[in-house]
Structure 1
């Protein structure tokens, strides 16, 4: 069988599976979610699982990740969080309002939603879509299945996730921490859909932690839509720290209204294959968008960060800084696209991707892009790929610092620029610790347990 035919058959496998479980997907789900399934499924049929011929996925081969025989989770399971197990590992325990999502299903039973201020809603998407469908109708319109086959697949299969609503003028004095837990007795494919709405003048700090409790093959295909109202402030942190048999495809779509400020931080510390899609539309004047990412890879791990920022209104600012440290035979990719539309004058847009290769076998692909249709703008982009500066290393060694320690110091300094932008102080300190462990070659959460060197 040819490679091309094998790839077609892989897409057909999931197409056939959808038809097999279609009745189960529709059963018990809300009208507003079911209304999108059939159209999204047709879009997935047309696009299929993306290959390298898809320009947006040209640096990432998803087909090996979809090849195993996965079990889907189409119904809620009654799980409770084992906090002792979770927090003895590398998910940081902070002074936060905790919530849990098990295999794509929000757990109200394990979540401390009673601690939230009046008017703030944190609930399962399943419940909200039935009880408050008007909220979804108003805000859920950012992720277009026709533009990305992984969004199409998510829309066709997803039944739950979390819904977070912060009403006008509410300022949360405590961050919300949501732990996405993958746990099962077999290989699992999870589709999770999340919606976040922060209304006018409201402020939110949100931390998402990806975590797994055993060494099965896991594939997570999640979509998160974020709406920031006028003068709203949102800090969105994502900590990705899973084992080498985990694949994470995480798509985040953000829309900002005038005078809003949204900052995202993505720390990818461990995982077999990670694909982060981050797409912003600055849809009001005087918006500010800041995007930071730090990634550490070794063995044959792969991480691909794809960003897109659309400056749709004048007087807006966007800033992107992504850094990658690649060791052994790992591979990485960064594609950053800035589009300034015709009427978005007085735009300031900046993008930078810096990459540090620790071996001759590690490889990095980087593709910064600018599309500028306005004439009164300040825009720049840049990328570097290189190894540790030998002159700087010699300088440190000449002052009595041994080579291993000197290399560690230089790598920490390389990562520090991104980490220092984390405003949530306990998280910044914890990530500093995790990064230091990662750079020393100490493996993450599962590596401290009984899984061994292959995780």
Structure 2
């Protein structure tokens, strides 16, 4: 049985159970997703835009799904014993794929901010969810179609017009179970005109010995002259697979930053689809990954400049050691009539062993001349002259390598606008490059 067929059959056999534990706006799109999936084949490694990424293999293992919404015994405090950036923030959680709020989280939000369970809001205010849910997500994408078919809950965030949220809002995604589990998550974020907010999402796996799959779709709507920063920090395990598709729509004059930060993982596939729908908008799309052992990371991005006078700046950096695998495909599309576009894309990679592999494909697709666009990629090793210089100054080779790798990632970290997260990430990156081989659950510095 193919990986896709097993989930289609699961839905067909248990549709009433899935629907009864969700809400009508989510249920309404399941049949659309079901019909889309009927004629699909999951991309395999080597297919276009899937270098070093095999969706069929990633979805093939026999994961359980909690479609009956059975309570799973999870200790959220286990996640906070070490390096999760504990900000002065409003804290929410998705335990596997079920929403949970930390005590006082809702009360800490200012007027004009709504955050909580997507399922609950869809029950209480279905019209509000229907106006946005599934409006950006592309059912031709098998990741999104499968997520839409099976998602029962998720996280909802809405910042009303003109509201400015000073403190970051934090969502912690926790994976924990005694058997292999697939968590199907959905996020819906609406930042209305002239509003401002920052959202930090942390992904954590508590049980390093269990196989997990996180399947998620994120839809973000940013209104005119609004500002929104989105940070996603992944600290999972070698037995965790993550498949994520993020969709963003920006209106006129908006400013958005998106950072995907992978410190610990098993196999990760991140997809970004962004659309400029109004003029004079600006996007900063950044990412980093530290890959060693047999870890894999694959990134695909498409930035669609559909209107004039918008700016995008994209930078992804990866380090790969041992038998790690990495892939980056980024496409900037400039539509006819999108004059005065400024779009810059760069992918930089350090490969530290003969067995590590990195594939990079930056692409420009431009249909007018009045633009400023560039793209580039580099795959190399640490600079031997810099290594030699540092050794002559008394540093041993491991320390010299550590400092050069930290310097390589510095411009990604420095772009983070949340001071506490930026400072913490510097420390976490240093520990990671120093050889710390496990994520938060076994951190020797827990409690410090």
Verify same fold: TM over 0.5: yes
Distance 2:254 2:441 in 1: 41
Question: Which of structures 1 and 2 has the larger relative contact order (alpha carbons within 8 angstroms, sep 6+)?
Answer: 2
Take 1:351 and 1:383, find their aligned partners in 2: how far apart are those partners? 9
**Contact 2:91–2:170 (Cα < 8 Å) also in 1:** yes
1:414 is aligned to 408
Distance in 2, matches of 1:279 and 1:422, equals 21
Could you say which residue in structure 2 is the equivalent of 1:281?
275
For residues 441 and 283 of structure 2, the distance between their equivalents in structure 1, rounded to whole angstroms, comes to 36
Q: Which of residues 79, 95, 114 is equivalent to 1:102?
A: 95
Matched, 1:448 2:442: yes
SS in 2 for 1:411: helix
Structure 1 length as normaliser, TM-score?
A: 0.94
Looking at structure 1, the residues matched to 104 and 142 of structure 2 have their Cα atoms a distance apart, in angstroms, of 32
- Greater alpha carbon shift after TM alignment, 214-223 vs 392-401: 392-401
Deviation at 1:67, TM superposition (A): 2.5
Is it true that 1:272 corresponds to 2:266 in the alignment?
Answer: yes
Structure 1 unpaired stretches of 5+? 1-7, 451-455
Alignment pair present for 1:137 and 2:130 = yes
Q: Aligned to 1:302, which of 296, 299, 302?
A: 296
**Is 2:257 aligned against 1:263?**
yes
CA RMSD of aligned residues (A): 1.7
CA distance in 2, matches of 1:10, 1:118: 45
Aligned to 1:232: 226
- Please tell me whether residue 175 in structure 1 is matched to residue 168 in structure 2: yes
Residue 374 (1) aligns with residue 335 (2): no
User: Matches of 2:403 and 2:330 in 1, distance apart?
Assistant: 28
Write the deviation string for residues 168-209 of structure 1: whole angstroms up to 9, x where unpaired: 010111101100011111110111111000001100110000
Distance in 2 of aligned mates of 1:70 and 1:155: 18
Which residue among 19, 22, 26 is the counterpart of 1:29?
22
- 1:198 touches 1:232 (CA, 8 Å); kept in 2? yes
The CA deviation string for residues 216-267 of structure 1, in whole angstroms up to 9 with x for no partner, is 1100110010000000000000000100000011111000000000001111
CA contact (8 A) 2:220 2:249 kept: yes
Measure, in 2, the Cα distance between the counterparts of 1:449 and 1:394: 33
1:190 to 165, 183, 186: 183
Residue 63 of structure 1 aligns to a residue in which SS?
helix
Contact preservation (8 Å) 1:320, 1:350: yes
**What whole-Å deviation, never above 9, does each CA across 1:275-319 have from its counterpart, x for those lacking one?**
111111011000000011110001110001111100011110000
3-state SS of the aligned residue for 2:2? helix
Q: Could you say if the C-alpha distance between residues 26 and 372 of structure 1 is closer, same or farther in structure 2, counting changes exceeding 3 Å? A: same
Whether contact under 8 Å (1:95, 1:174) holds in the other structure is: yes
Match of 1:113, SS state, is: coil
